[in-house]
Structure 1
Amino acid sequence: MKLFQQLLVAPAALGLLAPVAATAAELNLDGVNKYASEEQVTSISQFSDVKPTDWAYQALSNLIERYGCVAGYPNGTYKGGKAMTRFEAAALLNACLDRVTEVTDELKKLMTEFEKELAILKGRVDGLEAKVGELEANQFSTTTKLKGIATMVLGGGSNTGFGDDVTMNYDVRLNFDTSFTGKDLLRTTLRSGNFADSAFSNGNTALEVAFQEDAGVGGGVDVVGINRLFYQFPVGDGVTATFGAKVRQDDMLAMWPSVYPSDTILDLFTYAGARGTYSLNLGAGVGLWYQKEGFSVSANFVSNEASSEDSTIGVGEAYTFTTQVGYAGKNFGAALAYTYSDFAELGGVYANNMGLSGYWQPSDASWVPSISAGFGYGKSNLAVLDDSWSWMVGIQWADAFIKGNALGMAIGSAGQVGLGAGLGTGGIWFDGAESTIAYELFYKFQVTDNISVTPAFFYIENSGASDTVGGLLKTTFKF
């Protein structure tokens, strides 16, 4: 570095290399990219740590005014006193070369001194440009991203209605997310699975991951179908509109009032404790929400001529209308929601459902878990549905025992009604029962960023029937 130090006394060289020290501690062989990302300045007065008495003040001022290739930091500092490596010096020298119109003797000496480093940098830049070109030529789409999740479940349980046999099932979802403006979203989801013939397809032992697009034993098994097709876009300050031929109730809510994991075990615990209110009705729908500074108001309508993804009484809702008012802060949130449900298959039966749900979570992972809880209440013109209720409490420890892993458990009651002959077989939950309580416990091993393995146990106390005990091993792949 002797020549480099000697050349610093020459005005032209000094002016050229003054910005070298500005990012010395930050830059390495990839310094060109880092330098390009720094804040460009137009006047030396923008640097709070550069004074007229500094030895490089005039040279730096000339460089800013003549070449405009000086970069600073977002906090308005230059940090000119830090040490640097040869590659860092070459990176910044290379960044200024394109702006220099006069090649002086001092500059020629600098280019000779750093000839090797400049050649390496040029090779790396050329290589990156070639890779970018190859990616652009072979990319799937300029507007669409593909995300997928594949899940396999090995498990079984007693008194499930399907015997005590162990079963293995799968669910696969492929999301095609398209944006035309950078602020909108067109989502198309392909989904398939084979849970329909297993104990985990419906009723009290239904799993969150179970594919239930088509009702009935054997319906939809191993058939790929469109599970989502909707378009979401902003229509004003804080206002978002959604419409689709296949959209779910929660796709059109500004917030979800629970942080109990979306990959929970029993489907019962995915409704924020208010199963009638957050019925997750799936069909053609339209909705609006307004959101600002954490506060939100949502309203949506979903029409569904087929069976609902979930039903509290064993038959699908013809349509639902849902409104929600909520607040989602950094560590906590809560929402009050109302849903009107119409059950055309029961001949004029309707239900009014209300739900109050909320959550709290620590800022950082610790021995203190996140807590989610919710309560739902409903009234109907059908006597067996009148004064129905549901509730749940779920807790989860992030980074449990090992960073990336999670431990969780939940308890709750679905308030689901099992109707008699001719009205469907919604399950074993009865209004007014003494002990229709479900429990689950799981531990998720995060094997890699994209693979997790989750052993789980569940237990259901059934009033008037035998209790259900089961376990499973769930493996999830995300890509």
Structure 2
Amino acid sequence: MNITKTTTILKQNFSQAAKAVAIASTILITANNSATAQTIESNNELISPIGDIEGEVVDGMEQINRVSELLDVNAGDWADEALRSLSDRYGCIGGYPNGTYQGHATLTRYEFAVGLNSCLKNIQQLLAAGEAQISSEDIATLEKLQKNYSAELVKINSRLDPLETTIGQLEDTQFSTTTKLLGNLRVQTNTFFSGDGDPQTNMQYNLFLGQVTSFTGRDTLLTALGATNTTFPELASTNSGIDVGSTREGSSDTAGSGDSANSLRLIGLEYQFPLGDKAVIDIVAANRYRFSPILLRQFFPGYSLGQGPVSAFAEAPPIYLLGGGSGISASYEFLDSTVLTLTYLSTFANDAQSSRGLFNGDYIASAQINYNPTADFFLQLLYQNGYFDNGNFGFNNGQTFRGNGFVGTALANRFDDPGVFFEEGAEVSSNAYQIGGYYTIGDRIIVGGWVNLIKARLLGKGDADIWTYSLQTAFLDLFIEGNQGGLIVGVEPTLTSLDTSLEIPEFENDTSLHIEAYYRHQLNDNISLTPSLIWITAPNQDANNKDIAIGGIRTTFNF
């Protein structure tokens, strides 16, 4: 048998085997996602280790190489730079501690093909595991490299002829619309102790169900549903002897998104996408959780749902509870580690009445600068302008049906309500300011906090100041790895002054401290228990009211 015929028969046999395996692998992937790892393993079996085939010679076969196939690959050549770029993006070259390609020396074509083959296999595994997406430009680069080094790759993968199957898999799995489901359930049991009456014990829950969808690999569509059964105890309802409504100080984080009366409601619907390399746009159709774009942005690290403090006040600055609804947010990284975010949200954007809608009625517009040069240091400056119709002001994410708000004293939430200071309610125009941040000491201690000042103008009636601030410390891996303890000392939103030419009742503005300690014990990756103790001094900003102590335990389920 002549050389040409022998070569043809061998190549046909290898090609048929490779195609059969590729078809079988595709069927396995389609039939059951859990077979992904087995499919990758079966493909890898067809790619012989270099040591197994490096010395193989097929008797009677010879090949005359082109001159270009005899040239070495030098540092700086197109192929060298292309493989280096792929390695930097996907970490697909093994053998180095950081997974990067460091082939600065001249390589033979065979040595270079070994690295290329490794990169192809690793990218395929990343895609199969859903850990990476590959651009069309990178696919074109891989196709060109495969073509230019096909002879060497055939030698390396002597039983797989050749990488057309691998390239095809990369193209097929380039990126498809994906949706991830996530959930969080917090069950909180609290006992309230106060000199105003017998202890009160309640059990509440807050259920969050999120669906995160991506169409391109760089965008995010969030659909969030929530259900709660939150109620608030009637404690310290007076100030200076006048009934102004019960305080919201010490409210648990389960109350941080209001009361849905056990009904499942839409609390978030947002679409985020990049605009160039440094800008991100958020289109917000609905947001009833701390007005921040995309998936519950938290101010303090480690404070995602049910993982940090137990109180709604300590979880994030109260300024984030002013307003909510629909609108748009845009972020731009104008300096390294420095991001400017502009946000506009309208509370009644869906209402066609002339006094409401997207650009009329209640709204908040904010500008904030985040400076985050390292994971250990964060600084934020925020300015917010808002308008709230008669009696609508409150720390309640624009959920005006909740009356007194979710955090703070009754006066801080209700100073504009009819019958509190004025016979009729008042429209409020507000300017709010925040400075805050955190710093990590070593690996296990985080210290941070914030200061909020809200200057509220009651149109036609007067001006009010509301202050709130907090100092927090979190202890990571406290006693046991994965657990977290924390201590918070602060002042919840408090009405400190109200200047008006009208006659109003006098009120107390005593400093009411919020002191909180908690310890989160992680039972496993999905369940944690967090006992806590909260102490409120001079509740409802009146030292004549008895202190409130709240002991509780929170169970958090993440799924």
User: Structure 1, residues 119-153: CA drift from partner, whole Å, max 9, x if none?
Assistant: xxxxxxxxxx9xxxxxx9xxxx9421001011111
For normalisation by structure 1, the TM-score amounts to 0.64
From 397, 422, 425, the equivalent of 2:475 is: 397
Structure 2 residue aligned with 1:345, among 366, 390, 396? 390
- What is the aligned partner in structure 2 of residue 217 from structure 1? none
The structure-2 alpha-carbon separation of the partners of 1:253 and 1:239, relative to structure 1 and needing over 3 Å to count, comes to farther
Distance (Å, rounded) in 1 between the aligned partners of 2:185 and 2:54? 64
* Matching residue within 338, 346, 351 for 1:295: 338
- The offset of 1:456, in angstroms, is 0.4
Q: What is the alpha-carbon distance in structure 1 between the residues aligned to residue 516 and residue 482 of structure 2?
A: 20
How many angstroms apart in 2 are the aligned matches of 1:251 and 1:340?
A: 17
Q: What is the one-letter code of the residue matched to 2:552?
A: L
The answer on whether the counterparts of 2:195 and 2:547 sit within 8 Å (CA) in structure 1 is: no
Task: Go from structure 1 to structure 2 and tell me whether the alpha carbon gap of 1:183 and 1:257 turns closer, same or farther (over 3 Å shift).
Answer: same
CA deviations over 1:379-405 (Å, ceiling 9, x no partner): 222378623211100000100111000
Q: Provide the TM-score with structure 2 as the length reference.
A: 0.55
1:226 partnered with 2:266: yes
The farther-off stretch of 199-208 and 178-187 is 199-208
Q: How does 1:328-343 map to 2 (within 5 A)?
A: 328-330=372-374, 331-343=376-388
Shift of 1:326: 2.2
State the Cα RMSD in Å. 4.1
User: 1:281 is aligned with what amino acid?
Assistant: G
What amino acid maps onto 1:344 in structure 2? D
- Take 1:323 and 1:402, find their aligned partners in 2: how far apart are those partners? 40
Matches within 5 A, 1:395-434: 395-417=473-495, 433-434=509-510
> Matches of 1:9 and 1:243 in 2, distance apart?
56
1:97 aligned residue (158, 162, 179)? 158
Q: Which residue of 2 aligns with 1:105?
A: none
Aligned position for 2:281: 241
Q: Please list the CA deviations of residues 9-66 of structure 1 after superposition, one character each: whole Å capped at 9, or x if unmatched.
A: 96639xxxxxxxxxxxxxxxxxxxxxx94369xxxxx85689xxxxxxxxx957458x
Output the amino acid matched with 2:262: D
Q: Output one character per residue of 1:197-222: Cα deviation in whole Å (capped at 9) or x when no partner.
A: 667998113212226445xxxxx211
Q: Give the Cα separation in 1 of the matches to 2:185 and 2:111.
A: 55
**What is the identity, as a one-letter code, of the residue corresponding to 1:477?**
F
128, 139, 144: which one pairs with 2:179?
144
Q: Assess if the C-alpha contact under 8 Å between 1:252 and 1:289 holds in 2.
A: no
How far apart, CA to CA, are the structure 1 residues paired with 2:528 and 2:256?
A: 19
Taking structure 1 as reference, are residues 252 and 339 closer, same or farther at Cα in structure 2, changes over 3 Å only? farther
Give the superposition deviation at 1:279: 2.8
Percent of pairs identical after alignment?
A: 24
Once the two structures are TM-superposed, the CA of residue 281 in structure 1 deviates from its matched residue by 2.6
Could you list the per-position Cα deviations for residues 319-356 of structure 1 after superposition, in whole angstroms to 9, with x for gaps in the alignment? 21111122012111111111112120243322211111
What's the counterpart of residue 437 of structure 2?
358
| Shift of residue 169, structure 1, vs aligned partner | 1.4
2:518 aligned partner: 442
Q: Is the 8 A contact 2:177 2:214 kept in 1?
A: no
State yes or no: 1:209 paired with 2:254: yes
2:531 & 2:56 partners in 1: Cα distance? Answer: 69
Using a 3 Å threshold, how does the CA distance of structure 1 residues 72 and 160 change in structure 2: closer, same or farther? Answer: farther
8 Å contact kept, 1:393–1:411: yes
- Which residues of structure 1 form unaligned runs of 5+? 14-35, 41-45, 51-59, 75-91, 102-128, 130-135, 215-219, 307-316, 421-429
- SS class of match (1:269): helix
The separation in 2 between residues aligned to 1:305 and 1:440, in whole angstroms, is 35
Matched, 1:38 2:83: no
Distance 1:199 1:243, change over 3 A: farther
Instruction: Kindly provide the amino acid, as one letter, of the partner of residue 143 in structure 1.
Output: T
- Residue number in structure 1 paired with 2:211: 176
In structure 2, stretches of 5+ residues that fail to align are 1-48, 59-90, 96-101, 120-152, 163-168, 236-245, 350-360, 392-425, 499-505
Flag the 1:170–1:99 CA change in 2: closer, same or farther, 3 A: same
Contact 2:522 2:529 in 1 (8 A): yes
CA offset digits 1:250-300 (Å, max 9, x no partner): 22799865337343211112333xx3x433532112111112521011111
1:148-187 Cα distance to aligned partner (Å, 9 max, x none) = 0111111221249896221111111110001111111110
Instruction: Look up the match of 2:370.
Output: 326
Matching residue's letter, 1:96: N
Where has structure 1 moved over 4 Å in runs of 4 or more?
6-11, 46-50, 60-65, 69-74, 92-95, 160-163, 197-202, 252-257
